[in-house]
Amino acid sequence: MTTAIYGVGSMGGAVLDALADDGEGEVLAVESSAERVAQLRELHADHPTVEVVDVAEAAGRADVHLVLVKPYGVADLLEAISPSLRPDAIVVSMALGVSLADLAAHLPAGTAAIRAMPNTPAKVGQGMTVLSPADDVTDEQVTRVRELLAPTGRTLVLPESQQDAATAMSGSAPAYVYLFVEGLVDAGVAQGLTRQQALAMATQAVRGAGAMLAETGEDPAILRTQVTSPGGSTAAALARLEAHGMRHALADAVKACADRSAGR
Ligand SMILES: NC(=O)c1ccc[n+]([C@@H]2O[C@H](COP(=O)([O-])OP(=O)(O)OC[C@H]3O[C@@H](n4cnc5c(N)ncnc54)[C@H](OP(=O)(O)O)[C@@H]3O)[C@@H](O)[C@H]2O)c1
């Protein structure tokens, strides 16, 4: 299988790295500037399955097309690839806020189109991509895309109406976690730890708690209770977080993100 990636920036680069390391088949990377093309060629010189090509070549060669340019560039890109697309091509747009209707408006009739929301932990195989296929996309085509993206992490299929929520809960969520870690590290430094020590502890806490959630399948409230003795030090910390409105801040932030994604 041949996969084209259009736009190899933060997100496209993360997907490319995962597919280059663990994917099957060849990957065609497409970038707009000569400087980026040269950089990518150098970066992937040791990856025999990665080729940096121009848009027309990728459009004609690939079976699956991953669109990772900025949302405002999607329409022009689709117009550019449309004349060369194979009839059985699958186009997956990972651009924020670009709807299935927008995709259909710029693709040849009958092209299989999927709207998707990835996140950057794809780079290390720990991403989440929420896929919303158009009505005429077959289960087999969805399975092909899910298998293709397996090296980037997990995939989930949801109706398009839930893409804005997926953006707020998944696409943007790594940034909330990084902010949390930044704050925790500053707090650790205030307690006398070096920044390096504090970052090592905070990183492992996030990694460990994430693994506990994923591997035990336990409710987070139960896991939290297991760390919280009555009247103890964790309880004191949690009471402060609640008093400072952590839950409210999260609800408000996720709503703001979903609203922005929906153009509200
Ligand atoms: N970053 C995230 O965490 C994240 C998460 C979920 C979804 N997304 C989506 O992923 C897409 C890319 O976001 P990003 O953050 O990765 O942006 P980015 O870092 O700016 O990357 C976009 C890349 O695409 C290149 N490009 C622009 N037009 C092109 C074209 N016609 N053909 C080939 N390459 C082209 C850009 O080059 P120039 O700079 O030269 O224009 C740039 O290198 C967006 O649609 C965004 O909504 C991002």
DSSP secondary structure, 9-34, as one string = SHHHHHHHHHHHHH-SSEEEEE-SSH
Ligand 1 geometric centre to CA of 191 (Å): 40
Domains of the chain: which residue ranges? 2-159, 173-262
CA 156 – CA 152 distance, rounded (Å): 12
Q: CB-based contacts of 173: which residues, under 8 Å, 6+ apart?
A: 119
- Distance from the Cα of residue 105 to its chain's centroid: 24
Mean pLDDT for the chain? 96
Substitution site in 67, 70, 163 for ligand 1 pocket (most atoms within 8 Å of beta carbon) = 70
Specify the CATH class of 2-159 in words.
Answer: alpha beta
CA 32 – CA 10 distance, rounded (Å): 14
* Cβ–Cβ under 8 Å, residues 16 and 5: yes
**Under CATH, domain 173-262 is a member of which superfamily?**
ProC C-terminal domain-like (1.10.3730.10)
Which residue has the least CA distance to atom 21 on ligand 1? 9
Say whether pLDDT at 23 is over 90: no
- Tell me the pTM: 0.94
Tell me if 120 CB under 6 Å of ligand 1: yes
% of the chain exceeding 70 in pLDDT: 100
Tell me if 133 CB under 6 Å of ligand 1: no
Bridge partners of 114, per DSSP, are 92, 133
Tell me if 12 CB under 6 Å of ligand 1: yes
Tell me the per-residue pLDDT of 73-106, one tens digit each, with 9 for 90 and over. 999 999 999 999 999 999 999 999 999 999 999 9
Atom of ligand 1 nearest to the CA of 95: 45
CA 158 – CA 185 distance, rounded (Å): 36
Tell me if 67 CB under 6 Å of ligand 1: no
Ligand 1 geometric centre to CA of 143 (Å): 25
Fold match, 2-159 / 173-262: no
Give the torsion sign (CA, 260, 169, 96, 112).
Answer: negative
Taking the CB of residue 242, how many other CB atoms lie within 10 A of it? Answer: 11
146 vs 21 pLDDT, higher one: 146
Ligand 1 geometric centre to CA of 171 (Å): 14
User: How many Å from the N-terminal Cα to the C-terminal Cα in the chain?
Assistant: 39
Tell me if 6 CB under 6 Å of ligand 1: yes
pLDDT at 188: 98
CA 78 – CA 106 distance, rounded (Å): 6
Ligand 1 geometric centre to CA of 135 (Å): 26
CA 238 – CA 228 distance, rounded (Å): 9
| Confidence category of residue 64, pLDDT binned at 50, 70, 90 | very high
